[in-house]
Amino acid sequence: MVNLFLLDTRAPGITVPTHAFVRACLAACSSHDPAAFVFARGPLGKPEIRAPRDAEPLHFNVSKTHELVVCAVARGHGLGVDVEYLTRNVRMLDIAHRYFAPEEARALARLPCPVRAFHALWTLKEAYAKGLGLGLTMPLDRCTFDIASDGQVDTRKTPCGDWQFGLWTPTPEHVLALALPCEAGPIDVRFHRFKLQAMPKNADHPWTIAPAPRAPMEARW
């Protein structure tokens, strides 16, 4: 089971430290207080939990973009997550030709509007790199995906045979990718939506994280 926590950050004038959100997510998946978690960086720089250490340790990964922060939490196995805001203000085909596999760049160039497919590829690749703990030091053509003529990205056909992938659109403006080791079993995800909420001026903190109204999660890509 992977718990995916989505935080809507559109509340005007309010900012929240990412580590505070991560602590809240970890506490929700354990019996520990948010303040109990101590973090460290692994050999390749990936954040991990130093304490407390449970019998089946928690693993997490976090990603943030315009108006949305995502934290993925699982027990007993690593994972990677990435979320991106769908924007046209990037030189998508130039980036694809420079960093993606040649067949991916050619497929994107054939699409009348490659925005969604480009961001899907980017999030899948970054989620995989983060799952390995490599981040953007990993060449993005190391793991390739098939792109259909209608722009749909096939997450089932990839040479990364020991990893599996999920792809969702949590909002009409965002794309979210999850990378999970195959040894973890089939992808089973539970989504939790939250929003920032301003607190009264006399409160100890100027903000709190509150459950957001339930909204349907769009089907996988």
> Quick one: tokens of 144?
């390739």
Domain ranges in the chain are 2-211
Q: Tens digit of pLDDT per residue, the chain (221 long)?
A: 999 999 988 766 666 778 888 998 999 999 999 999 999 988 878 889 999 988 789 999 999 999 899 999 999 999 999 999 998 778 999 999 999 999 999 999 999 999 999 999 999 999 999 999 888 788 999 899 999 999 999 988 777 879 999 999 999 999 999 999 999 999 999 999 887 665 455 545 444 555 554 444 444 44
pLDDT at 88: 76
Q: In which element (H, E) is residue 61 found?
A: strand 58-65
User: Under 8 Å CB-to-CB from 178, ≥6 apart: which residues?
Assistant: 2, 4, 72, 79, 80, 81, 127, 165, 166, 167, 187, 189
End-to-end alpha carbon distance in the chain: 20
pLDDT at 206: 47
Please provide the CATH number assigned to the domain covering 2-211: 3.90.470.20
pLDDT at 221: 44
pLDDT at 55: 72
pLDDT at 115: 94
pLDDT at 220: 46
Whether the model pTM is above 0.75: yes
